Amino acid sequence: MLESTSLVDADRLHSHAGNLKENGWRLVGMTGVAREGGVDLFYHFDRELKMTNLKVETEEDETIPSIGDQFPGAWIHENEIQDQFGIRFDGLDPDYRRLFFLEENVEATPICRGVSARVSKEPGK
Amino acid sequence: MTSMLKILLKNGTGRYATRLYPAEAREPFAKNRADLSFDPGCCRLCKTCSRKCPTGAIEVDKENRTWKRDVFSCVFCGDCIEACPKSCLSFVARPPLPQKHHQQAVVYATVPERSKK
Amino acid sequence: MTVSVIPVGPQHPVFLEPFQLKLVVEDEVVSEALPRFGYVHRGLEALVVSKDFRQMTRVAERICGICSAIHGMTYCRAIEKLLGITPPPRAQMLRLVWSELHRMHSHLLWLGLFAEAMGFESLFMQIFRIRETVMDILEQTTGNRVIISVNVIGGVRRDLDAEGADGIRRALKKVAGDLERIRPVLVDDYSVRKRTEEKGILAKERAYELGAVGPVLRASGISQDIRRTGYGAYGELDFEPVVESGGDCQARCKVRYRELFQSMDLIRSGLDRLSDGEIQTKSKEKPEGEILVRSEQPRGEVVYYIRADGSKHLQRLRIRTPTFANMAALMDLLPGLDLADVPLVTLSLDPCIACTER
């Protein structure tokens, strides 16, 4: 287990991120780790060289709220996670629909083997 | 404006910054990792080097007693040199000459049979 | 008013690496910028399934040529923490010396490319001439020019003798003199100032909010440097982060220029404090657990996340590179710029697509 990590529910992520934002934390990055039946999502934050992490355990077919409205730099991390794990982010802007790093013909999720992508590359779906 | 002009005038009148290469070549540094040398005489065909190689450039065949290295795959990291229990491998400072054929890009050595003492 | 879309890249004289910017332009002023990545995506993070954790050191070094030594060092630090070993003090100090030399050659490369993007070819040549001294000293002490492959799990692979240390000191003296000579050009020259001042201003709050890192953040007036956490041998040395307040291209140039002198100071005091002794701690264990490790690269903070389960292969390796984080800041900077300033401002953030996409 990582140091100073708190486990949060996906629907309470927004309020937790908002708290951190108000207290002057900066979004450092996001990490996705595949596990049985879902993906562990880590949000790393930094303030004055100290780190804190939020962990969201996602289930299959779960949509995660985007924190892009609180941390404007989050879109790049979320788009990458969407590419690698096929997790859907609600309110992601700009949404590359899994074309951020991947080609049009890639259907698999590269880092998370065996899980089919839940984000369609067709616009409007 | 004049500050750059000063540098340029100095460059124009001073020595060359580069060497006139084929005529005047620098000796390679002693620690240079230009080529990998293999001494078949001390090899025990233990395959440690081929297991440690991050790119899979080294192939060891125990039955035919051969040791092969694909020069194009090798990244000269030196992991095999550290791993070799008999110290058969070492870096050569002087770069190898250009090769004419692709086959020559594979270093191929037959490890001699050892008489049992 | 005419609105047109101009694709810049993936092959463009200023961007040395392939990525595409779709610029929506209204009468020469950019109103929207959309990046397109994926031209050099190599999937290095996924390689953990086929390479064991010792071989991954070599993969980590090859994520980006310019920050190679520090990528390798950060990966090794993460694995060492999981294994519970500490490299000997001499190895830690040698890592510091080589990573600072790497920072110097990266900053000199950036300064040179920056001059070239302005169209100042002779300055570019002059800076690359200085860089060659640093490259030579790297080759002399480690054997390679760019990917120096000195970091191994538990320490370093090459030792530095007294002659090598003297060589570094001599080279640094030469580099310091040469850099001092080009200072008036970079700072006071009329055409350079005209091209860089007030261009691409990233405000302090905005830079922090967007998660910008490294020299970009420090040029916007925020004093943040991961080396201050004192990892490795950095805790023994005292230094202050270089900060500028302008937030424009000129400030980013000054930060990197001054960091060159900071790196030289660090190398000199590192060489003075170099203790005798071993350079490697060996361990036969396999890593287990979860860890997050950060280092300061020439381009900013790099974050390594590793999850291992005690087997030969790691379960997950995640690398958040500094250029990846700065991409968000870049996309925020571009709207509102003149089309002619786009290449220079883009370059001033030091984008490295090989790092960004891994």
Return the percentage of chain B with pLDDT > 90, whole number.
Answer: 0
pLDDT band at A114 (very low <50, low <70, confident <90, very high): very low
Q: Are B95 and B26 in contact (CB under 8 A)?
A: no
Q: How is residue A115 written in tokens? A: 């899980």
C46 contacts in chain A (CB < 8 Å) = 110-111
Residue B4 lies in a domain: no
List residues of A whose CB lies inside 8 A of any C CB.
1-3, 26-34, 42, 44, 49, 51, 53, 71-73, 75-77, 80, 94, 99-103, 110-111
pLDDT of amino acid A21: 84
Region C229-245: what's the mean pLDDT? Answer: 84
A51 contacts in chain C (CB < 8 Å) = 292, 294
Burial per residue of B25-59, b for 16 or more beta-carbon CB atoms within 10 angstroms, e otherwise: eeeebeebbebbebeeeebeeeebbbebbbbebbb
Which residue has 């967007």 as its token pair? C210
A110 preceded by a cis bond (ω within 30 of 0): no
Highest mean pLDDT among A98-107, B79-88, C169-178: C169-178
Give the Cα separation of C213 and C223 in Å (integer): 10
Residues 6+ away with beta carbon under 8 Å from A37: A59, A60
CA dihedral sign, ordered C306, C307, C310, C314: negative
Average pLDDT of chain C to the nearest whole number: 86
A31 contacts in chain C (CB < 8 Å) = 305, 316, 318, 320
What angle, rounded to 10 degrees, do the helices at C89-118 and C162-188 form? 30
Q: How is residue C212 written in tokens? A: 């910008």
Domain of A99: which CATH number?
Answer: 3.30.460.80
The end-to-end CA distance of chain B, in Å, is 79
Our count of domains for chain A comes to 1
SS (H, E, C) chain C: CCEEEEEECCCCCCCCCCCEEEEEEECCEEEEEEEECCCCCCCHHHHHHCCCCCCHHHHHHCCCCCCHHHHHHHHHHHHHHHHCCCCCHHHHHHHHHHHHHHHHHHHHHHHHHHHHHHCCHHHHHHHHHHHHHHHHHHHHHHCCCCCCCCEECCEECCCCCHHHHHHHHHHHHHHHHHHHHHHHHHHHCHHHHHHHCCCCCCCHHHHHHCCCCHHHHHHCCCCCCHHHHCCCCHHHCCCCCCCCCCCCHHHHHHHHHHHHHHHHHHHHHHHHCCCCCCCECCCCCCCEEEEEEEEEECCEEEEEEEEEECCCCEEEEEEECHHHHHHHHHHHHCCCCEHHHHHHHHHHCCCCHHHHHC
C328 contacts in chain A (CB < 8 Å) = 72-73, 75-76
Residues 6+ away with beta carbon under 8 Å from B55: B73, B74, B75, C58
Interface confidence, given as ipTM, is 0.81
Residue from B2, B4, B80, B90 to probe the interface with C (highest C Cβ count within 10 Å):
B4
Average pLDDT of chain A to the nearest whole number: 77
Q: Are A91 and A64 in contact (CB under 8 A)?
A: no
Residue B112 lies in a domain: yes
What angle, rounded to 10 degrees, do the helices at C322-333 and A74-85 form? 120
Q: A16: helix, coil or strand? A: helix
Chains C and A share 3 or more Cβ pairs within 8 Å? yes
Q: Contact A110/C320, CB-based, under 8 Å?
A: no
How far does CA C155 lie from the centroid of its chain? Answer: 21
**Domain ranges, residue C45:** 3-357
Give the Cα separation of B55 and B70 in Å (integer): 10
- Does C314 contact A at CB distance below 8 Å? no
Phi-psi region of C326 (alpha: psi -120 to 50; beta: other; left: phi over 0): alpha
C174 contacts in chain B (CB < 8 Å) = none
Give the Cα separation of A42 and A1 in Å (integer): 11
Q: Are C290 and A2 in contact (CB under 8 A)?
A: yes
pLDDT of amino acid C275: 83
**Domain ranges, residue A9:** 1-125
Domain of B64: which CATH number?
Answer: 3.30.70.3270
Residues forming a β-bridge with B69: B58, B107
Domain of C111: which CATH number?
Answer: 1.10.645.10
Q: What single letter denotes the amino acid at residue C336?
A: G
Q: Inform me whether the pLDDT recorded for B117 exceeds 50.
A: no
Say which range, A51-60, A67-76, B103-112, C280-289, has the weakest mean pLDDT: B103-112
DSSP 8-state symbol, B109: E
Residue B95 lies in a domain: yes
Return the percentage of chain C with pLDDT > 90, whole number.
Answer: 4
**Domain ranges, residue B113:** 31-117
Q: Inform me whether the pLDDT recorded for C18 exceeds 70.
A: yes
Region C261-282: what's the mean pLDDT? Answer: 87
Which residue has 């192939």 as its token pair? B59
Residue from C120, C126, C279, C280 to probe the interface with B (highest B Cβ count within 10 Å):
C126
Nearest CA-CA partner of A21 in A45, A2, A56: A45
pLDDT tens, residue by residue, C45-98: 878 878 888 888 888 888 887 888 889 899 999 999 888 888 888 888 888 999
Q: How is residue A67 written in tokens? A: 């924190």
Q: Inform me whether the pLDDT recorded for A116 exceeds 60.
A: no
Region B74-96: what's the mean pLDDT? Answer: 84
Nearest CA-CA partner of C221 in C198, C197, C242: C242
Give the Cα separation of C259 and C241 in Å (integer): 8
Q: Contact C329/A44, CB-based, under 8 Å?
A: no
B95 contacts in chain C (CB < 8 Å) = none
Say which range, A93-97, C150-154, C239-243, has the weakest mean pLDDT: A93-97
Chains C and B share 3 or more Cβ pairs within 8 Å? yes
Our count of domains for chain B comes to 1
Give the C-alpha distances (Å, rounded to integers) separating A85 from A108, C15, C82, C182, C321: 9, 30, 26, 49, 19
Scanning C21-50 for CB atoms below 8 A from A yields 34, 37-38, 41, 43, 45-46
Q: Inform me whether the pLDDT recorded for A121 exceeds 80.
A: no
Our count of domains for chain C comes to 1
Name the residue in chain B with its Cα closest to that of C52.
B54
List residues of B whose CB lies inside 8 A of any C CB.
1, 3-4, 7-8, 11, 17, 29, 31-33, 52-55, 75-79, 82, 91
